[in-house]
């Protein structure tokens, strides 16, 4: 008789989408469920959608546990989302315990980019690598750290907030409350803001056409589309962004001396147009011995990286009241 397959639910709770997967211990996805987050409706409504997504996956199936990745600050002791800037009202929400009570299954919670690092380490491009950093270049910038083969979360579970390294002490205000943070220069939001600035200044650019001539619809994706179409301004915006991606990566290389940096998130879909210049900056400006040792590559697991990282967290038995011990 064949052994019963171990199945785990992994959930990625993002500012725009909830992505839930049912996967086995090898990271093979058996089923998936997704929904719009509609975060503006508040925590109770979002939690209802998380419950529904999980319910769809576990109906009639024996599940070992549930793992959840959420954007924002994470309270390891309480299993709570302390604060999530892109999800209004998410202050000290004990999401782990809410889901655990709802389903009666061991449940774990962790920051989304930390889980992305874990997912790549267990199932993706980081398999067999003991020291790696995952950099999520999305609307903002997040990070996850694997040190000596283990997830590093810091004293209070907040390690990896690399998007809030100070790049310019006199820079513009950041949503975190500080000034001149890396994500103000190298995120999807930064790309879109610079494009809007150029458009409002009357600079001729194809970005306007890709955004339907509406500045409110300008995104990093519309800038990328215009750049692929040969638009000079769009290409210059991405080149400037790539430089600042490189500046931040120099700091990551100098601080962590990783073997591997994996680039994920929406901006990673720009591929070589973004990364080639960023890698040049690292080679030119990072501490020599560390720059020679590091590989900088695209992450492998795509949009499922956080959900699969949540599966990996369950497999590590970092769940329920034992989480973080």
User: Model's pTM, two decimal places?
Assistant: 0.92
Determine the pLDDT at residue 3. 60
Determine the pLDDT at residue 318. 62
Average pLDDT for runs of 10 along the chain of length 325:
78 93 97 95 97 96 96 85 86 96 96 96 98 95 96 89 95 92 96 96 95 93 97 98 98 98 96 97 97 97 97 83 44
Which domains are seen in the chain, by residue range?
7-117+304-322 (3.30.420.40), 127-299 (3.30.420.40)
What number of residues does the chain have?
325
Determine the pLDDT at residue 5. 84
**Region for 68 from its dihedrals, namely left if φ exceeds 0, alpha if ψ lies in -120 to 50, beta otherwise:** beta
d(CA 12, CA 34): 9
d(CA 74, CA 92): 9
Angle at 13 (CA atoms; ends 132, 244), nearest 5 degrees: 45
The torsion defined by the Cα of 123, 186, 291 and 293, in degrees rounded to 10, comes to 0
> Tokens 């290389």 correspond to what residue?
253
Determine the pLDDT at residue 176. 85
Determine the pLDDT at residue 72. 83
Determine the pLDDT at residue 321. 45
Please say whether the beta carbons of 258 and 291 come within 8 A. Answer: no
């Amino acid at each position: 008789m064949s052994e019963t397959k171990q199945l785990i639910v992994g959930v990625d709770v993002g500012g725009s989408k909830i992505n839930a997967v049912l996967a086995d211990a090898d990271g093979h996805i058996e089923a998936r469920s997704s929904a719009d987050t509609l975060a503006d409706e508040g925590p109770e409504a979002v939690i209802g959608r998380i419950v529904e997504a999980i319910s769809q996956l576990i109906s009639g199936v024996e599940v070992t546990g549930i793992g959840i990745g959420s954007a924002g600050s994470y309270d390891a002791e309480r299993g709570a989302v302390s604060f999530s800037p892109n999800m209004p009202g998410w202050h000290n929400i004990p999401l782990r315990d809410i889901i655990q009570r709802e389903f009666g299954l061991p449940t774990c919670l962790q920051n989304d980019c930390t889980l992305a690092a874990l997912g790549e380490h267990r199932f993706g491009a980081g398999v067999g690598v003991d020291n790696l950093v995952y950099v999520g270049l999305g609307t903002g910038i997040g990070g996850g750290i694997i040190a000596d083969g283990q997830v590093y979360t810091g004293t209070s579970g907040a390690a990896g907030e690399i998007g809030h390294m100070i790049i310019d002490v006199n820079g513009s205000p950041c949503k975190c409350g500080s000034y001149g943070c890396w994500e103000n220069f190298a995120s999807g939001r930064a790309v879109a803001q610079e494009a809007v600035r150029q458009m409002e200044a009357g600079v001729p650019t194809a970005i306007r056409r890709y955004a339907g001539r509406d500045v409110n619809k300008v995104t990093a994706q519309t800038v990328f589309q215009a750049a692929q179409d040969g638009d000079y301004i769009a290409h210059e915006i991405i080149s400037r962004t790539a430089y600042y991606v490189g500046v931040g990566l120099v700091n990551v290389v100098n601080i962590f001396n990783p073997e591997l940096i994996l680039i994920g998130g929406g901006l990673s879909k720009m591929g070589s147009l973004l990364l080639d210049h960023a890698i040049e900056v690292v080679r030119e400006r990072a501490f020599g011995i560390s720059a020679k040792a590091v590989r900088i590559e695209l992450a492998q697991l795509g949009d499922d990286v956080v959900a699969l990282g949540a599966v990996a967290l369950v497999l590590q038995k970092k769940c329920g009241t034992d989480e973080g011990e």
